[in-house]
Amino acid sequence: MKLSVNGQAIDITLENEKTVGDVLKSFESEMEKNEATTVKIVLDGKEIASSDFDAILNKELTDNTTIDFGVVSKVELISSLHVLSDNFSTLSEKLQNIPVLLQGGKDKAASEIIEELATSCNNFCHIGTMTMLFPDIYGKLLIEGSKLEDFFKEFLPILSDFETALKDKDTVTLGDLSEYEIVPRLQNIVDAIKAV
């Protein structure tokens, strides 16, 4: 049997494990000790959907069996959140320059900032969702007292308005949304991450 974690091969010695389920149980026990959890299983080259999970448990192990576990740890998540916090702090400063950049005909520079904002927000959504695997982190990640899903319900329409203003080249609305709506919320995200 060949075992890998996040694509990296690892050496293991089977003890009493005879089935895929036995390996999963042993592996998850080790992950728990290291404050990590499995988020993806690829068995013999095929990613296993959660609905198919029970069907693989009794599959016998062979010399040709390959299992790759996708794993995320609490330490990695916290580290990723802090990197995002730094990104949001930098973006807060850059966003205030968008109206000036657009008025000066520097559309490309403005677009790069907006693309960076979109990427960072997308990453935050993904990592925020992953924190649900660790209730102690998720419970602390409150933005202005709101859970992540409530925060994003309020924030997404603002980003949508920002996108519309950008298409319309409405520099006044872009400036107002940046200064009074987006930047303060990015700072709230930064403050929330500090609590984690």
Q: Exposed/middle/buried for 178, CB within 10 Å: 0-12, 13-18, 19+?
A: buried
For 54-106, the pLDDT digits (tens) are 999 999 999 999 999 999 999 999 999 999 999 999 999 999 888 888 888 88
pLDDT, residue 150, reads 92
Residue 94: its pLDDT value, please? 93
Strand 2-5 with 66-73, pairing: parallel
Q: 23 to each of 7, 50, 179, how far by Cα in Å? A: 17, 17, 53
Q: What percent of the chain has pLDDT over 70?
A: 100
Helix (H, G, I), strand (E, B), or coil: what is residue 135?
Answer: helix
- Answering whether pTM is above 0.75, one says yes
Identify any residues that bridge with 38 across adjacent strands, giving them in sequence order: 71
Q: Which of 182, 184, 186, 190 is nearest to 99 (CA)?
A: 182
* Whole-number pLDDT of residue 16: 87
Residue 56 pLDDT: 94
Residue 174 in this model has a pLDDT that exceeds 90? no
For residue 192, pLDDT over 90 is answered with yes
Confidence (pLDDT) at 190: 95
| Residue 174 or residue 187, greater confidence | 187
Tell me which amino acid residue 26 is.
S
- Nearest partner of 59 among 1, 5, 109, judged by Cα: 1
Q: What is the model's pLDDT at position 171?
A: 83
The separation between CA 107 and the C-alpha centre of its own chain, rounded to angstroms, equals 29
Q: Single out the residue of 72, 57, 50, 64 nearest to residue 23, CA to CA.
A: 57
CB 85 within 8 A of CB 189: yes
Note whether 187 and 93 are within 8 A (CB).
no
Flag whether pLDDT at 191 surpasses 90. Answer: yes
What is the tens place of the pLDDT at every residue in 18-41? 999 999 999 999 899 999 999 999
Question: What is the arithmetic mean of pLDDT over 172-192?
Answer: 92
So what's the pLDDT on residue 6? 95
Please state, rounded to an integer, the average pLDDT across all residues of the chain. Answer: 91
